[in-house]
Chains A and B, each alone.
Chain A
Amino acid sequence: DTEVTQTPKHLVMGMTNKKSLKCEQHMGHRAMYWYKQKAKKPPELMFVYSYEKLSINESVPSRFSPECPNSSLLNLHLHALQPEDSALYLCASSQEGLGSGRFFGPGTRLTVL
């Protein structure tokens, strides 16, 4: 399996809702990432997990909460989001070490009303 999968594809939520985004990879990659992408912009790093431990949190607001249950799964828990959080949320994975290309999932298109 050479793909990163994400669910759901689309999500519409109100500002008081709680929802979760899910990501899965079976390539044996030990680094997993969450990115946020706004229209016509490059992906913006949010979190990095290395060997299931949180390595980087790019000063992301606490209304976004990542979780890495095992080496294949990555979740992003959402709570009390704002309309400006509407974006494409991309999961990615890579091998550890020097210069490893990111393999991206198809993304979840999130709309916050």
Chain B
Amino acid sequence: GENVEQHPSTLSVQEGDSAVIKCTYSDSASNYFPWYKQELGKRPQLIIDIRSNVGEKKDQRIAVTLNKTAKHFSLHITETQPEDSAVYFCAASIGSNYQLIWGAGTKLIIKP
């Protein structure tokens, strides 16, 4: 079955710098890749997603890139701000499969 690995488990960056979180997946049939942000004590929130027919997607300071050949996708956050501090989860799914296979999460710490 599908497996998603996420790195790093913790990422500490200076406010204003960029942050990059990477995920790799095992099943080449995966075609939907969402990213969720979860602040402490709150719900996971969908922040950006990408489908396999697209290589990159951007929304203001957040971007996601997908390399289907290498089977990895990455979240890029530019000009980081204190409110970006949270746990970020990547996930992958196949077709209309209801299953989302989740990465283990990355705790992002923004240092003032």
Contacts and interface: CB of A to CB of B under 8 A. Distances in A.
B48 to A, nearest CB: 9
Contact of A106 (B42, B51, B95, B96): B42
A79 B13 CA distance: 45
Nearest to A103: B46
Contacts of A106: 42-43
Interface in B47-88: 49, 51, 87
Nearest to A99: B32
A33 B98 contact: yes
Interface string A24-51: 0000000101000000111101001010
Contact of A101 (B49, B89, B98, B102): B49
Given A40-B105, A90-B43, A106-B42, A45 B32 contact: no
B24 interface: no
A97 B96 contact: yes
B12 interface: no
A96 B97 CA distance: 10
B11 interface: no
Contacts of A62: none
Interface in A75-113: 90, 96-99, 101-107
Contacts of A70: none
A107 B103 contact: no
Given A41-B105, A42-B104, A48-B98, A98 B32 contact: yes
Contacts of A105: 43
B100 A96 contact: no
Given A33-B98, A40-B105, A42-B103, A98 B45 contact: no
B51 A99 contact: yes
Contacts of A41: 104-105
B53 to A, nearest CB: 10
A56 B98 CA distance: 8
Interface of A: 31, 33, 40-43, 45, 48, 50, 55-56, 90, 96-99, 101-107
Given A40-B87, A96-B96, A102-B100, 18 more contacts: A31-B98, A40-B105, A41-B104, A41-B105, A43-B44, A48-B98, A50-B98, A56-B99, A90-B43, A98-B31, A98-B32, A99-B93, A102-B34, A102-B44, A102-B46, A104-B45, A106-B42, A107-B43
